Amino acid sequence: MNMYRLLLLWAVLLISQLALGQSASTLAPSQDAAVHELTQLKNRVSQLEHEVKKLDSTGLVLFLFGVFCALWAQNTGRNAWLWFFLGLFGSLITVIVLLVKNSDDRFRESLRVKLD
């Protein structure tokens, strides 16, 4: 009977050693994976911060396009809000249209002055 208990104790110790050895070996890769995932998350956050800074300056430029178009519209008797939003959302195309309309206005004004 003592031999049976000794053999059972030895088996329990052997199984526990194997379990501890496996858990220690499986713990290291999971820690490495967690460190790798943390590094990836840090990289993604820094990339997103960079993108936000880029969008911040782009938003300022678009807003200034809208303000420029609204000022022009107000000075020429056109709807300032309409031209502000056109300048805000279609910036470069709207400014080109604005310049063409301005040159047409100046041409008509010069023709009117010549006729008078």
Write out pLDDT tens, residues 49-97. Answer: 888 777 777 778 888 888 988 898 888 888 989 888 888 888 778 878 8
Q: Are 94 and 69 in contact (CB under 8 A)?
A: yes
Hey, what are 14's tokens? 């052997």
Task: Name which of 54, 71, 56, 64 is nearest 92 in CA terms.
Answer: 64
Q: Any idea where the domains of the chain sit in the sequence?
A: 2-115
Identify the burial level of 87 via C-beta atoms within 10 angstroms of its C-beta, where 0-12 means exposed, 13-18 middle and 19 or more buried.
Answer: buried
What's the predicted TM-score (pTM) here?
Answer: 0.47
